[in-house]
Amino acid sequence: MQKSLFTNDLGQSDLHKPLADRMRPRSFDEVYGQEDLVKPGSAFRNLVEQDKVPSCIFWGPPGTGKTTLAEVIARTTEAEFVPLSAVTAGVSDIRKIVAVAEERLKMGKRTILFIDEIHRFNKSQQDALLPHVERGTVIFIGATTENPSFEVNHALLSRARVFTLSALGEGDLKEILSRALLDEERGLGKVKVKVDEHALKSIVQIADGDARAGLNVLEMCVNSIGAKGPKAKKGQNGSVNSGQGLVTNETVRTVLKRSHMVYDKGGEEHYNIISALHKSMRGSDADASLYWLARMLEAGEDPIYVARRVVRFASEDIGLADPQALVQAMSAMQAVKLIGMPECNVHLAQAVVYCARAKKSNQLYEAYGKAARDAKETSHIGVPLHLRNAPTSLMKDLGYGKDYKYNPSFEEPVEQDYLPEELKKRKYL
């Protein structure tokens, strides 16, 4: 094992590491959340403790313990643990690691290759791993915040077990922060700072399931007041730890000048939220529709993208049940193009609420789907002669346009076929 990466004792240089890094769990028993993986007797923990680590991918939001689990495996297993970051590594790095791993395997020692942010590897880089994972030259462990179904090659995905990590609960986050405040070896125990209950709750909410984010905010708050912070009143209710400085809600607000919204315009969350907006409008829930719209716009989503989705919805889910929905959606898109954000948010809100409240019908959507299927299957069928255009005398002589009845010339209904003979009785609406 590469001891320089995971020393148990804090050296002088370690004291300057971020609190989140210092407090990283060193064993399964120190890991909060992810109970299905880390609790005693769980299948995954048993495999690791028996030194039978499978190739796997940890998938979950930031700060949920993906890298932590990899480092716990490094401390628990007898295999050599080699970490890589997909941000800086390439195929040449993989080749070097594999070459050493092959020699190590001859001596009976296995190699675990941990690749953080595996979704940043392109297809050729991921392909370079395949033969070595398949032959067992290395045990592959990847970590990603993106859906592996979209970001990891199918061939590599089929050779690794995917473990899904969930965002940490508020109780877990509170325990992690409290432990950091009490820990004199790696945490803030020697600083003797006090955090009142309201401030602690605010930090937990801001962290939103991300342990790293919560510890970073806590550290910034403690550093902002220093040893000269306001004195904590003896016996004050709802506080953690005891000592000189007091972190309050005002401290948290001061440190975080603006809110940080969780939203990835290029990742899975982008598609999750637009799906939530679409389904909320379809379900006629105007309040939920407004909420999901605000989640996107306030996080910096391109308003034109949202407008296009609403225009599509207006015909796909409403259609002729309320033709004004398309008018509202198109008007909102025009307003977005002319005015832009933030002023155009109200125009999009108007279109979204109108669509949510409008009567729903997917008749047009279904009808076009049926027509499209027929069009693909019968594209060899010619247009009936009476419906064809006849711009030349030759075409007229060939019967183009013959016997066509010009509807406006008749007061009574016109009996005339408009579909090919093979589809004469077809109904789409």
Domain range summary for the chain, segments of one domain joined by +: 31-164, 170-255, 268-357, 379-423
Q: Which two tokens stand for residue 218?
A: 């806590």
- Going by pLDDT thresholds of 50, 70 and 90, the confidence category of residue 10 is very low
CA nearest neighbour of 38 among 84, 76, 83:
76
Residue 224 β-bridge partners = none
User: What is the layout of strands, in order, in the sheet containing 161-164?
Assistant: 80-85, 111-116, 139-144, 56-59, 161-164
Q: Is the pLDDT of residue 123 over 90?
A: no
> What pLDDT, on a 0 to 100 scale, did the predictor assign at position 191?
82
CATH topology (fold) of 170-255: Helicase, Ruva Protein; domain 3 (1.10.8)
The residue to which tokens 């959340």 are assigned: 33
Contact indicator for 305, 332 with CB cutoff of 8 Å: no
pLDDT at 294 over 90: yes
31-164 in CATH: which number?
3.40.50.300
Q: Are strands 193-196 and 239-240 parallel, antiparallel or unpaired?
A: antiparallel
Inform me whether the pLDDT recorded for 205 exceeds 70. Answer: yes
**Alpha carbon of 31 to those of 40, 68, 79, 168: distances in Å?**
12, 8, 21, 11
Q: How confident is the model at residue 265 (pLDDT cuts 50, 70, 90)?
A: low
* Stretch 82-96: mean pLDDT: 89
Enter the pTM of the model: 0.59
Query: Which CA distances in Å does 253 have to 20, 202, 228, 299, 408?
Result: 20, 9, 19, 19, 71
Cβ 357 vs Cβ 313: under 8 Å? no
User: Scanning the structure block, which residue is given the tokens 């002669």?
Assistant: 385
> DSSP secondary structure string, 143-170?
EESS-HHHHS-HHHHTTSEEEEPPPPPH
Residue 257: pLDDT band with limits 50, 70, 90: low
Those residues with Cβ within 8 angstroms of residue 166's Cβ, 6 or more apart along the chain or in another chain: 33, 34, 60, 61, 64, 209
Spatial distance between the Cα atoms of 293 and 355, rounded to a whole number of angstroms: 13
**How far, in Å, CA of 386 to CA of 416, rounded?**
10
Amino acid at 67: T
Residues 75-97: what's their mean pLDDT? 88
Say if residue 80's pLDDT is above 80: yes
For residue 115, CA distances in Å to 32, 90, 93, 140 come to 22, 11, 11, 8
- Side chain identity, residue 96: K
Q: Is the pLDDT of residue 194 over 60?
A: yes
Confidence class of residue 250 from pLDDT cuts 50, 70 and 90?
A: confident
Please give the Cα distance from 215 to 349 (Å, whole number): 36
What pLDDT is attached to residue 279? 95
Q: Hey, do 170-255 and 268-357 end up sharing a CATH topology, with the first three levels equal? A: no
Topology given in CATH for the domain delimited by 268-357: Zinc Finger, Delta Prime; domain 3 (1.20.272)
Separation of alpha carbons 146 and 60, rounded Å? 7
| Interval 361-371: pLDDT, tens | 999 999 999 99
